[in-house]
């Protein structure tokens, strides 16, 4: 695995060239791509050339966002499907082979099983299109009860459910986005991660939780930097990634607004240090 810089996940904003510079400067192993930026380069050839420059800086690509909304209304989804080949062409030109999305863990109208059919339906189709392009999809389950309990029908919000969904699609290019924060808030332990392999994991996030709240009171958008409070068993999480021989990106996504008011280099130096330390074990 390698440390990965996502400016957005840190609550910072920068265009892709700046993010690449910063990732190189602070010793990250990779950087998350920005499909919008790549698109405006204007041609697949320009994208390929740009990506070569990233490799020349010693950086790998992390994970791009899935360029389609899985739960959009049918008409909107069909229209987005028509746009998908262009996006896949750019991803392919750039050599990006990981995209991901999170699963909304509740719905006000669709029961668990109706929502399941919706997700299986959309994922089955999208994963085949991405498989044809050699791209893997990562799915992130969302753990906090303060989130999944807010509408009439809770949906998938745990590792075991995410694995059930992936199995149901029958797709070999769908895997997990593992986030220590969701793993903790879902009430999971290192045992739940046992048996995973590199093929099961598309991306990983490490974060810690506030130490003045119980697990079921934690908020999805109010986390802490990995290792800072010790609420989450970061060692157990990283040991499981190592046991899986995980080779992909690891990043930080703390949803701490305070970071935006600190000097960027300070934030990134700290983030890189925390990632390197966690990955090193």
Cβ proximity to a second copy, 8 vs 85, nearer residue: 85
Chain positions 187 to 246 lying near a second copy, rule: CB under 8 A, are: 187
Sign of CA dihedral 118, 124, 129, 134: positive
Chain positions 28 to 57 lying near a second copy, rule: CB under 8 A, are: none
Cβ proximity to a second copy, 116 vs 255, nearer residue: 116
Q: Choose, by CB under 8 A, the member of 6, 158, 207, 218 that binds a second copy.
A: 158
Which residue is associated with the tokens 């990283």?
Answer: 238
For residue 84, CA distances in Å to 12, 75, 97 come to 28, 14, 15
Dihedrals φ, ψ of 139, to 5°? -115, 130
Q: Quick one: which of 61, 60, 148 has its CA closest to 102?
A: 148
Cβ atoms of 112 and 158 closer than 8 Å: no
Total residues at interface with a second copy (CB under 8 A) = 41
Cβ proximity to a second copy, 168 vs 200, nearer residue: 168
CA 278 to chain centre: 17
First to last CA, the chain: 12
- Give bridge partners of residue 107 from the DSSP assignment: 153
Q: Choose, by CB under 8 A, the member of 17, 25, 69, 74 that binds a second copy.
A: 74
Q: Tell me the C-alpha distance between 128 and 212, whole Å.
A: 44
The piece of 40-48, 165-173, 229-237, 266-274 that touches a second copy (CB under 8 A) is 165-173
Q: Choose, by CB under 8 A, the member of 89, 124, 239, 276 that binds a second copy.
A: 124
Residue 220 CB, nearest approach to a second copy (Å): 15
Sign of CA dihedral 150, 157, 140, 2: positive
Q: Choose, by CB under 8 A, the member of 57, 114, 213, 257 that binds a second copy.
A: 114
Residue 254 CB, nearest approach to a second copy (Å): 24
Q: Choose, by CB under 8 A, the member of 120, 190, 264, 269 that binds a second copy.
A: 120
Q: Choose, by CB under 8 A, the member of 28, 50, 77, 141 that binds a second copy.
A: 77
Cβ proximity to a second copy, 168 vs 222, nearer residue: 168
Contacts of the segment 266-271: beta carbons below 8 A, 24+ positions apart: 267/10, 267/12, 268/5, 268/10, 268/22, 268/25, 268/26, 268/28, 269/26, 270/225, 271/5, 271/10, 271/26, 271/225
Q: Choose, by CB under 8 A, the member of 24, 39, 65, 116 that binds a second copy.
A: 116
Chain positions 82 to 101 lying near a second copy, rule: CB under 8 A, are: 82, 84-85
102 sits near a second copy (criterion: CB under 8 A) = no
Chain positions 166 to 185 lying near a second copy, rule: CB under 8 A, are: 167-170
Contacting residues toward a second copy, per CB under 8 A: 73-75, 77-79, 81-82, 84-85, 111-114, 116-118, 120-122, 124-125, 128-129, 132, 145, 148-149, 152-154, 158, 160-161, 164, 167-170, 186-187
């Amino acid at each position: 695995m390698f440390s990965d810089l996502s400016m957005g996940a840190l609550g910072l904003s920068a265009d892709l060239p700046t993010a690449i510079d910063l990732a190189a400067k602070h010793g990250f192993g990779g950087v998350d791509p920005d499909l919008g930026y790549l698109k405006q380069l204007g041609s697949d050839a320009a994208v390929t050339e740009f990506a070569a420059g990233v490799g020349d800086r010693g950086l790998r690509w992390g994970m791009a966002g899935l360029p389609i909304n899985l739960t959009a209304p049918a008409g909107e989804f069909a229209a987005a499907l028509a746009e998908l080949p262009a996006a896949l062409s750019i991803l392919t030109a750039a050599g990006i082979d990981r995209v991901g999305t999170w699963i909304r863990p509740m719905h006000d109208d669709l029961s668990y099983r109706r929502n399941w059919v919706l997700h299986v339906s959309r994922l089955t189709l999208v994963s085949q299109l991405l498989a044809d392009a050699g791209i893997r999809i990562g799915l992130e389950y969302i753990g906090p009860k303060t989130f999944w309990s807010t509408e009439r029908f809770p949906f998938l919000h745990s590792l075991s459910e995410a694995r059930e969904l992936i199995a149901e699609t029958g797709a070999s290019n769908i895997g997990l986005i593992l986030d220590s924060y969701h793993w903790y808030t879902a009430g999971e332990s290192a045992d739940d991660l046992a048996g995973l392999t590199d093929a099961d994991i598309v991306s990983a996030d490490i974060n810690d939780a506030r130490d003045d709240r119980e697990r079921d009171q934690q908020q999805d958008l109010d986390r802490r930097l990995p290792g800072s409070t010790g609420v989450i068993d970061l060692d157990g999480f990283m040991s499981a990634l190592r046991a899986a021989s995980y080779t992909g990106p690891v990043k930080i996504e703390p949803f701490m607004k305070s970071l935006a008011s600190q000097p960027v280099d300070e934030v990134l130096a700290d983030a890189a240090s925390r990632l390197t330390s966690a990955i090193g074990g």
